[in-house]
Chain A
């Protein structure tokens, strides 16, 4: 499975937001305990189990080892349906809002995130040395976190100039006060960002401090 939006995986969330319905991304499995739909989804720190707050909802699945299987009866039913193919002209879409020109994001480069730290198991029986190791690890972790926070601001590469002025929706995951290294999707709470993140709009973008305060 591969999205047709330049691998930014934004089309399903965007459609969900346009339709004003709930959306859950990166689903890997689901369950129905006591009739309640529960979705297991990938997060940057592992996985979490969530449930949609309202229906209908859009659930997008991650590329995973368990592709969905169709029943024969449903496959036969699907083949019997009449499909209508609508073009952009059929729905009267604005060309400026289609394809790359209409995309609200632009892929500058694709890279693998740096590994921030390598976890190791240390079996130390000497209590004094164990305390020393803990102190050393704590200092190293604090330094690493500080380095992450003080990274240079993002620069548009290749001398490209932004060609879009309008709303920019950003989805930020955070964990225990740290911004996640991987925040790839559109927001689950668009109303918050729509109200305060406008480039060229009337309101100033919020500072990080105000974001944390708002949380």
Chain B
């Protein structure tokens, strides 16, 4: 990054650049590298294979195998179950993979990592983890656009209300594309807040609208981000296991949920609003699930006010196929 600017957005028209001397050095990314996580994972996978690491995709880790007080491996999920849980002709059982050391690299809010933390009390005396949600679009710019490469603009203010933690950013993805992202702390208290809608409102600010004029959205995604900081990091090792935070996940997720009287309590269905992928829709009070829409950001599991949305790892191979994110 050669250019790093911070801008304060006031209302939907005013944009004030924050002088660089007022931006803490820890928040400046000038001179840093910006890497697509998807592309880095692909590259890293090639490096690992060259070093003799075996990588198998399409297998979902379902649960930890714990024996004699130590992690002995993981159990894979079954494949070939129908919607009711019955076995189809292509059913294969979940196998147990045993290892001397199990390294969990699930990314944000990993299910096995959380199970490990609970099982071995790794989070005792630590703060509870809190999360924000980032929704992002990649926009291919028009030929006339002069945003340029190696540039990032970070923004605070519009459209988030003052009581919502977060901010936005737009940064170069090469010379002809930009990423635009809006991050919001998941502790917002508005039952009908829709992150995707907020992102569109964010893009409608006159300052941003000019930056992306004539552009075309080529990809979008969503992801939760651990925000608890150092004091929320649990112990990173347990007998037989090492837990590495913030690793790109090779495990895919899906979710299913049900309404728990939210409409009576809140006057709306929060999951229909906070899910950035429209997995949860309602026809009156009838829930219509579209799991295939899922971006596997896990917002629903974390944000559901009644915590009734149950998560389980789907069959391996499912999930969003990010190539540019």
Contact = CB atoms under 8 A, between A and B. Distances in A.
Contacts of B80: 66, 69
Contacts of B56: 72, 75-76, 79
A29 B95 contact: no
Contacts of A72: 56, 59, 76, 95, 97
Contact of A66 (B54, B76, B89): B89
Q: Which of A31, A68, A73 has the most CB of B within 10 A?
A: A68
B93 to A, nearest CB: 8
Interface string A51-78: 0000000000000001111111101100
B88 to A, nearest CB: 5
Contacts of B59: 72, 75
A66 B95 contact: no
A71 B90 contact: no
Given A75-B56, A79-B54, A70 B89 contact: no
A138 interface: no
A73 B93 CA distance: 11
B76 A69 contact: no
Contacts of B190: none
Nearest to B76: A72
B97 A66 contact: no
A66 B92 contact: no
B95 A71 contact: yes
Main secondary structure of the interface of B (DSSP, over half): strand
A81 B290 CA distance: 40
A207 to B, nearest CB: 42
A79 B59 CA distance: 15
B79 A69 contact: yes
A30 interface: yes
A69 B79 CA distance: 7
B100 to A, nearest CB: 17
Given A75-B56, A76-B56, A69 B90 contact: yes
Interface in A67-112: 67-73, 75-76, 79
B266 interface: no
A29 B80 CA distance: 13
Contacts of A76: 54, 56
Contacts of B95: 71-73
How many residues of B sit at the interface, in one of the four size bands?
10 to 19
Nearest to B78: A69
A71 B92 CA distance: 6
Nearest to B92: A69
Interface in B197-252: none
A69 B54 contact: no
A70 B316 CA distance: 11
B282 interface: no
A75 B91 CA distance: 15
A108 B59 CA distance: 42
Contact of B89 (A29, A71, A73): A29
Interface in B75-134: 76, 79-80, 88-92, 95, 97
B315 to A, nearest CB: 8
B67 to A, nearest CB: 20
Most B CB within 10 A of own CB, among A29, A69, A75, A76:
A69
A68 B90 CA distance: 5
A24 B95 CA distance: 31
A69 B91 contact: yes
Interface in B58-80: 59, 76, 79-80
A135 to B, nearest CB: 44
A79 to B, nearest CB: 7
A30 B91 CA distance: 12
B90 A67 contact: yes
B92 A70 contact: yes
Nearest to A29: B89
Given A72-B95, A75-B56, A76-B56, A30 B89 contact: yes
Interface string A13-33: 000000000000000011100
Interface in A90-149: none
Contacts of B97: 72
A109 to B, nearest CB: 34
B99 to A, nearest CB: 13
Contacts of A71: 92, 95
6 contacts: A31-B89, A69-B91, A69-B92, A71-B92, A71-B95, A72-B56
Interface of A: 29-31, 66-73, 75-76, 79
Given A69-B92, A72-B97, 10 more contacts: A29-B89, A31-B89, A66-B80, A66-B88, A69-B80, A70-B92, A72-B56, A76-B54, A76-B56, A79-B54
Interface of B: 54, 56, 59, 76, 79-80, 88-92, 95, 97, 315
Which 4 pairs between the two chains have the least Cβ-Cβ distance? A69-B79, A29-B89, A66-B90, A69-B92
